[in-house]
Amino acid sequence: MSKTINITLKIWRQKGAKAKGRVETYNATNISKDMSFLEMLDVVNEQLTLDGKEPVAFDNDCREGICGACGAVINGQPHGPEKGTTLCQLHMRHFSDGDVIFIEPWRARAFPVIKDLVVDRSALDRLIQASGYISVNTGSAPDANTLPVTTTNAEMAFDAAACIGCGACVAACPNASAMLFVGAKVSHLALLPQGRPEAARRALSMVRTMDRLRFGNCSNHKECEAACPKEISIVNIARLNREFYKAGIGSREQ
């Protein structure tokens, strides 16, 4: 059995945010099945450079599925066909010789294209800046058992905190909603005693900021959950809704 494959790539090329984009075709030959998808793009870019052409711009950093920097839509699926996998963890052994692979950037109004496959995901940073944190007094660290947390809550908070902020949930959603991202951040902190004092303000502020940044609304299609490389559950969206409703009722009573 051959350890290499030849594939055809249909890649979105766009010089800038205001430039008109297009799909260009490239032939990738003798690609090792042991390569990651990003390593395959490195090989393609090396050949483009040798041919005097501009390489394809794409986001990447740690290449270990931790940082959330990488991301592209592969044949219509954010991060590609493998469940619970970032683009940098996707390997070419999941493709076959002769395959045609379409590669596009995240598609969302809140994620404008910078160049080729690179999009501006700073809207997620602004959501965190809105209230995705806790306020604490400086000083020495408290004793470990000062604020007890149940095992159930600790595990749910840990699962929500696994979000790496890659934006795949937004790219997968037909409405380009950031509800799974916001739900994970709100759940992570709302489940812990350190986050409860600011829970109401956090939910209201992050949802309002999400609307202002022109993310869409959740319509429970579950594409976000299916595309999430860390398999964040949409249960966190339900918890976000509860926190938001409770915060709204509390603000009206005051």
Lowest mean pLDDT among 78-82, 107-111, 212-216, 246-250: 246-250
Integer Cα distance of 134 and 132 in angstroms:
7
Asked: is 121-253 a CATH 1.10.579.10 domain? The reply is no
| Contact (Cβ atoms closer than 8 angstroms) between residue 32 and residue 92 | yes
Integer Cα distance of 78 and 185 in angstroms:
21
What number of other Cβ atoms are within 10 A of residue 138's Cβ?
Answer: 4
| Contact (Cβ atoms closer than 8 angstroms) between residue 6 and residue 29 | yes
pLDDT > 90? residue 89: yes
What is the structure's pLDDT at 254?
A: 46
pLDDT digits (tens, 9 = 90+) for 155-188: 999 999 999 999 999 999 999 999 999 999 999 9
pLDDT > 60? residue 228: yes
What is the structure's pLDDT at 145?
A: 72
Where are the domains positioned within the chain? 4-104, 121-253
pLDDT digits (tens, 9 = 90+) for 26-65: 999 999 999 999 999 999 999 999 999 999 999 999 999 9
Asked: is 4-104 a CATH 3.40.50.300 domain? The reply is no
Please give the residue that has the higher pLDDT: either 101 or 140. 101
Q: Do domains 4-104 and 121-253 have the same CATH topology?
A: no
